[in-house]
Structure 1
Amino acid sequence: MELLLILLLFVGLAVLAAVPLVALLHFSDHRGKSLH
């Protein structure tokens, strides 16, 4: 049971970390390719 809770916590943190990263990637993609 504790293992499941820890796994759930890790998944939640991963999702929370991934959301802004994906949004940032999409945002920079829409802003223009001047960075590359």
Structure 2
Amino acid sequence: MNYSLLDSMMLIGSLGLFLFGMKTMSEGLQKAAL
């Protein structure tokens, strides 16, 4: 299995986007709960 630079960039990008989405969703839920 050989990963190209583009594959690793897409993987890191999607992972970062996922973490960002989780963070914003948790903050939104906290604001809604208050």
Q: TM-score, normalised by structure 2?
A: 0.71
Runs of 4+ in 1 over 4 A off after TM superposition: none
Which aligned pairs between 1:1-36 and structure 2 lie closer than 5 A? 1-31=4-34
What percent of counterpart residues are identical?
10
Q: TM-score, normalised by structure 1?
A: 0.69
Distance in 2 separating the partners of 1:24 and 1:12? 19
Query: 1:20 offset after TM fit, Å?
Result: 1.2
CA-based RMSD:
0.9
User: Which sections of structure 1, spanning at least 5 residues, go unmatched?
Assistant: 32-36
